[in-house]
Every structure is written in C-alpha cells, then in structure tokens.
Amino acid sequence: MKRLNTYITVLFGASLLFLAFHAAYDGIVLDEAEDWGVTLAQYFFYLALIYLIIPPLGLFLARRLNPLGWIILGSYALQVMYGAGITDDQPMLGVMPRLLGNLGVHISGIQGYGFFSMILEILGFAPAEPQKPTLFSILVADVNIVVNGALILLCLFALRSWWVERRALEAALVPGQLNADGSRIP
C-alpha cells in the first residue's frame, strides 16, 4: 500500500504540474480570464483556491490510508482529465454543452459571474470556442489525459486494496482477542 501511495503522490504531482501548464496557457495565451469576466490575477487566484486546497487535502488523507483521500484524488483526476485534457482535444471540443443541448438544456452566456463562471468552465459547461491548437497545447492535453487516467486507476486500485485488507483483518479477528489498541473484541 505504501508503494501504491508513492505512485499516487508522483502522479498527483505530475498532474498538478501539467494542470498549471494548461492554466497558464489558457490564461495568458488564450486570454480565458477575459472570456469569463475576471482579471488574470483573479483567474489564477480562483484556480489556486480550487486546486491547491482540496486535492492536496485528498493526498494528505490518502497517504494516511483514509479512503476519502483516494475518492477526492480520483474525483480531481477525473475533472482534470476532462477539463484540461478531453475538452482540449479538437474532436471532443464542447462535449458537455452538446450533450446537455441534446437533452434540451441549453447553457450559454456564463461569462461575467466571477468565481461561479470559473466553476462552470472548469466543469466543462462553457460553450466551446474553436481554437487553433499548438503543439504545446496538444501535448499538455494528451499528457493530462494519460496522467490523470493513470491516477484514477491507481486510486480505484488503492480503494480496492484497502477494502480487501479491511475485510481480511475483520475476518481474522476472533471474538475475545485484543484490538491493536489493547481493548477486548466482544
């Protein structure tokens, strides 16, 4: 389990690094901050609020073998794989608005709501703007897909391993024995 958590930590670090590349490219080159009605400083501040608080907390919990940590990290990886990877892949551009449009839910004009606009954009609800991809943006998107896909799989494997170990420990405990803390098992 310790080795698995080491791999998860390394993948999380790589994911955060490539997410930062993606955010910097979108904020500076594509000027997404203006699209969502915020300044560039607000754009990076909002992204820091979202990605530098909850996901590291998930890593902290996962390293202490808390299943909630793997759930948080897996959710983070799924969102980053979609938002910073799949949606930047030209054939998949604008998947969420198209899917919702087919269901009769039309989302448009989410710009100008500050932090709420950022949340909707991160979740993929923004109407996709055609953009001319560069080699850098394509590589970053593809790396985000691969790294976060691997992170999701490792988090799922860690959850499964934790569950199997827990069930085996419960099966091995016989009534009348002592717990690790010295208390008697009823």
The whole-angstrom separation of Cα 8 and Cα 4 is: 6
The pLDDT value given to residue 27:
85
pLDDT of residue 89: 59
Q: Tens digits of per-residue pLDDT, 67-104?
A: 999 999 999 998 888 777 776 655 455 555 666 566 66
Q: Which pLDDT belongs to residue 166?
A: 87
Regions of the chain where pLDDT drops below 70: 87-132, 173-186
Handedness of CA 96, 101, 105, 107 (dihedral sign): positive
- pLDDT of 157 reads 95
Please report the pLDDT score of residue 57 as a whole number: 95
110 and 125 Cβ atoms separated by less than 8 Å: yes
Across-strand partners of 178? Answer: 184
What per-residue confidence (pLDDT) applies to 56? 95
Q: What is the pLDDT of residue 58?
A: 94
Task: With CA atoms as reference, report the closest residue to 147 among 78, 87, 91.
Answer: 78
CA dihedral 100, 19, 53, 10 (to 10 degrees): 120
Tell if the pTM clears 0.75, that is, is over it: no
Residue 174 DSSP one-character state: -
Please give the structure tokens belonging to residue 97: 């608005």
